[in-house]
Amino acid sequence: MKNDPRRKPRATDTAREFGFATRAIHAGARPDPVTGARNTPIYQTTSYVFDDVAHAADLFNLQTFGFIYSRLTNPTVSVLEERIANLEGGRAAVCAASGHAAQFITFFTLMEPGDEFVSSINLYGGSITQFGLSFKKLGWTCHFVDAGDPENFRKALTPRCKAIFLECLANPGGIVVDLEPVAAIAHEAGIPLIVDNTMATPYLLRPFEWGADIVVHSTTKFLSGHGTSMGGAVVESGRFDWAKNDKFPSLTEPEPAYHGITFYETFGDFGFSVKARAVALRDFGPCMSPANAFYTITGIESLHVRMDRHVANTQAVAEYLEAHPRVAWVSYAGLKSSPYFDLARKYLPKGAGSVFTFGLEGGFEAGIKLVESVTLFSHLANVGDVRSLILHPASTTHRQLTEEQLVAAGAGPDVIRLSIGLESVEDLIADLDQGLASV
C-alpha cells in the first residue's frame, strides 16, 4: 500500500536493525520499480491518476493510503518523511514548506481558540515572534519561561495549556535544556512535550528516547545541509495517549470534514500525523516541494559524516575563542567552562552541535565590525550549512525583540553567533583572528 504510515519505517525489507549511517542512506527508499533508478526521483507532478471511482473515493475518505494531490502527499516527499521518522525513532512524519510551517501545523492540530502552551524563552527569534505575536491572532497564548530550571515549566502551566515546547540544544546556541524532567512535568499534566531538534539533529540527539512526544525540524538547516532547500518536518512518537483526558478534541472527537471520522480512534499511534496532514496541510497548504525534498534526502545521506566534522571543527574554534583577549565569554556546551557541559554529556555525547555564541568586548558596535571584517565566514541568517556562517543576532534575526527579550534569548547586543562548517579549521581560526584584530 503506497505511503502507508502503518508500515514501520525501515532501511530495507529485512528485519535486521540497521545502524544510523545505513538508515540515513536507505530508509524509506527503494529503486524505482518502473525505471530501476537508484536515487529517489523528483516526482514533479501536481496530481495522480486514480485506478477507478472506488479507488478515488477510498483515498478521499482516508480509507486507503496513496497519492491524490501534491499539497497532501507526493512520492518524493513521502520518502523524506519516512526517512526522518526512521532516524528520529518516530512513528510517522509530515513534511512542510519550512520549519515555521511545521510548527504551525503542529499547534493547529493541537489547539483550539483560547488554548495556551508553555515554551522555553531560549528559542530562535522567529519562533519567539511566531509564538508571542502571530499565534495571539489565532487565540493561542504562549507563556515563556526560563528553561534553566525545569520547575519553571510546571509553575507556568494553566488548565488551558495543551503542550510544552522547547529547543533542547537552543538557538542561538550553547544552552542545553534538561529534557527528562520537563518531559515528566508535561506527562503529569497530561500534555505532550514538543522538541525542536533542528540544532542537534537525530544524529546527536533523539528526543523521543528522553520522553518527548513530538519532534519538529527546520529541515532547511542540518538535514539539508547545503543551504539550498527550505523545509520543515513534524514527527510523532506514537506513544502519547490523546484520549487520556478531554484536552484534544481535534483528535478524539468526530471530524466533520471526513464524515465524522475520529482520528485517534481510527489511526491509533499515527493519528496525530494523519490529522496534521489531512486537515492542517490540506486547508492551509504549506506543502514541501518535491525538489526541496529531493535535495534534503540527498543531504541526509551524508548527515552522520557532516555532523562529526561540524562538531570537531566547532570544538577547536570555541577553544580558540575562549582564550582570545578580545572575547569576553563563549557559550558552547562542549567547553568544560560551560554550565551546560554535564547536560551536554548526558544528552549529546557525540558533541554539542556546531552553533554557538560568544560576546565581544565593545558590545554592539564591535559585533557589527567583526561580521563586516571576516572574509571566509559568510554573513547571513542561516545555520547548518557546510559553509561557516556568522551573524550578529541583535541586528538581524532577533532585531524585532526588545532589549530585555534579547538578553533573555541569549542574543544580547554583544553576542555573535557562529555556525561552524566543514572547512579546514585552521582557515576558520585564521579568518576569525584577522577579524578580531580589526575590532
Q: Evaluate whether 152 touches 122 at the Cβ level (below 8 Å).
A: no
Residues of the chain with pLDDT > 90, as a percent, come to 85
- Tell me: cis bond preceding 172? Omega within 30 of 0 counts: yes
Selected residue with higher pLDDT from 396 and 88 = 88
Q: Evaluate whether 94 touches 263 at the Cβ level (below 8 Å).
A: no
Q: How open is the CA angle 419-391-395, to the nearest 5 degrees?
A: 155
Q: Which segments within 74-140 are labelled E, that is strand?
A: 92-96, 116-120
Q: What does the radius of gyration of the chain's CA atoms come to, in whole angstroms?
A: 22
Q: Residues 30-75: pLDDT tens digits?
A: 998 889 999 999 999 999 999 999 999 999 999 999 999 999 999 9
Q: Residues 170-224: pLDDT tens digits?
A: 987 679 999 999 999 999 999 999 999 999 999 999 999 999 999 999 999 999 9
Domains and CATH numbers, the chain: 20-299 (3.40.640.10), 303-438 (3.90.1150.10)
The closest of 432, 191, 434 to 317, measured between CA atoms, is 432
Q: Which pLDDT band, with edges at 50, 70 and 90, does 411 fall under?
A: confident
Q: Residues 234-264: pLDDT tens digits?
A: 999 999 999 999 999 999 999 999 999 999 9
Phi-psi region of 174 (alpha: psi -120 to 50; beta: other; left: phi over 0): left
Q: How open is the CA angle 54-56-58, to the nearest 5 degrees?
A: 70
Residue type, 260: G
5 pLDDT exceeds 60? no
Q: Evaluate whether 193 touches 212 at the Cβ level (below 8 Å).
A: yes
2 pLDDT exceeds 60? no
Mean pLDDT score across all residues of the chain: 93
The rounded distance, in Å, linking the Cα atoms of 158 and 327 is: 42
3-state secondary structure of 206: coil
3-state secondary structure of 139: coil
* Single pTM value for the model: 0.93
Q: How open is the CA angle 185-140-222, to the nearest 5 degrees?
A: 70
